[in-house]
Chain A
Amino acid sequence: MRAFVIAVFAFLYLPIVLVVLFSFNAGHHASEFTGFSVQWYGKALSNPFLVEALKNSLFIATTSALLAAVFGTAAALGLARVGARTRAVFDALLGAAIVVPGVVIGISTLVALVQLFAVVNPFLASIWPGGQPPRLSLGYGSIIAAHGLFSMALVTMIVGTRLGSLDRNLVEASSDLYATPLTTFRSIVLPQIMPAVVAGFLLAFTFSFDDFIIAFFVAGAQTTLPIYVFASIRRGVTPEINAIATIVLVASVLLVVLAQWQLRQRKPSN
């Protein structure tokens, strides 16, 4: 059994190692390793389309993860204060947001937003006082919103779990000592749930940064890094893609390791 488990871990990691290895290949061909070189990284980072896609992805991932961390934490705190029935409704919706395949989230958001814009845009045009009225369209906003749905549900669940194991005695002691609810929250609750909030933010960022399928439907004219990479892959495999893949893989691995480490933090560090 031990040999089998080792084989499975090799199976999980060898392909990734291979991609990283060949990103340092001097030669153009993917088949043979002809020497060490970082030229493909230079090539990738001097490609303006790629840099643009990378910037878009960073912006979208940061924004959606921040919104998800704030609203998800608020929701987890709110859910600790409501009755069982309200909680069950929220749990079902949050579960659906996580489990429903990305394809379905993507197309349903696309359909709903296109219908919404068809109503809102003429209305905005009719009430706009002179000049060019703003036109809502697919783009940054729709990707951020669609990614935020999954991410917020994720943060709510992670923070909710942490709230469930919160030391109630500390909260009670704090209010017995005449701390205001705000002070109790700031000095007792927040430090205890903070690792979960940070982990939630990091996982949300990773999710958004890596997502292809949802963005594919709701990106409109925008390009994210995965959309750009997908299009390049379909044109053919090149070492340049390996270089991008390596950057993305290393970034995701770092973020996930950081998130796991945060989740294992039992007590606030100060």
Chain B
Amino acid sequence: MSAGIGADSMHGNRFRHNFLTALLLAPATVWLVVFLVLPFIAIAVFSVGERAPEGGYQAAFTLAQYANLPARATAFWNTMVLAPVGALACLIVAYPVAYYLALQVPQRWRLILLALVVIPFWTSLLMRTYAWMYILGGRGIPALLAFVGIEDVRLINTPGAVLLGIVYGYLPLMILPIYVSLERLDRRLLEASADLGATPLSTFLGVTLKLSLPGVMTGFSLVMILLLGEYLIPTLLGGGKVFFIGNALVDLFLQSRNWPFGSAIAITLVLVSVVVLIVANRISNRVAGARRVDLI
């Protein structure tokens, strides 16, 4: 830069400021565009294309792939049932845990217990699901039951096993946002409610639950969206009997190679996710005002 004075150097400074900002943001921008935006456009384009005879892509503009979605109705049905049911099951288990951690545990225990919740979240889902294959499989609980005389119990490769795996896998992700919203809660409100003669139950329903709703909705929508794309849990614990959209996508992209149809399914999945997010946002805004709960 020139060592000018007055307006010239002001101009130089602003240029230098903008140049540095652009430089800092450049790698992230390139990455987001090349590996997020362009790929998304690519599958959007593929989803209105046609399948080439040998399994590739042929340019076209047709909604035939979307019209064909009912061909994978079973996968959609299983996912659309087990994702909300799984998220709800997670919520039912997670809420008391989050409540206990946020409002009942002394400060010094809180961080340790919270870390114990976070650790499984960052540990390989594959390995954790594998653990349940082990427990539910023929040599696990069924073998123990046979030992005490209950024969022929089948646990693995059932919808129940998949649901169990879902709760196990996504419980931490549900606990965290609920914990955050409960921890922020102004305790004086609880005291005020009790002082004004409310029963513990009506304090819980009218104050605690209502104010923690943003956390509940964040957890619910995150878990549900991730479940919509789940592949490992239904594959390992459902044994090919409980087929999810994720299984259909693996099949269409890696085995039977019908990329346009697979792209249409993927786009549908993303659209459903967006709807879930919007609905969850609406609900928490309506009930508790616009207090967002960020996960990180």
List the interface of chain A (C-beta within 8 A of B): 1-2, 4-5, 8-9, 11-13, 15-16, 18-19, 22, 29-31, 70-72, 74-75, 77-79, 81-82, 90, 93-94, 96-97, 99-105, 107-113, 115, 145-146, 148-149, 152, 154, 156-158, 161, 203, 206-207, 209-210, 212-213, 216-217, 226, 229-230, 233, 237, 241-242, 245, 248-249, 252-253, 255-257, 259-260, 264
Contacts and interface: CB of A to CB of B under 8 A. Distances in A.
B100 interface: yes
For the complex, would chain B's binding face be called helix, strand, loop or mixed by DSSP majority?
helix
A102 B38 contact: no
For the complex, would chain A's binding face be called helix, strand, loop or mixed by DSSP majority?
helix
B222 interface: yes
B171 A104 contact: no
17 contacts: A4-B96, A8-B97, A31-B143, A77-B24, A81-B20, A103-B245, A107-B262, A107-B263, A111-B46, A112-B39, A149-B35, A154-B296, A203-B122, A213-B229, A230-B126, A249-B127, A257-B115
Contacts of B266: 103-104, 107-108
B292 to A, nearest CB: 11
B270 interface: yes
B293 interface: no
A6 to B, nearest CB: 10
A252 B140 CA distance: 26
A81 B24 contact: yes
Given A15-B168, A103-B229, A103-B246, A149 B36 contact: yes
A158 B130 CA distance: 30
Contacts of B124: 209-210, 212, 226, 245, 248-249, 252
Task: Give the top 7 A-B pairs by smallest Cβ distance, nearest first.
Answer: A101-B229, A78-B24, A108-B39, A31-B139, A15-B131, A75-B28, A112-B39
Interface of B: 17, 20-25, 27-28, 31-32, 34-40, 42-43, 46, 93, 96-97, 99-101, 104, 111, 113, 115-120, 122-128, 130-135, 137, 139-140, 143, 168, 171-172, 222, 225-226, 228-232, 236, 245-246, 249-250, 253-254, 259, 262-263, 266, 269-270, 273, 277, 296
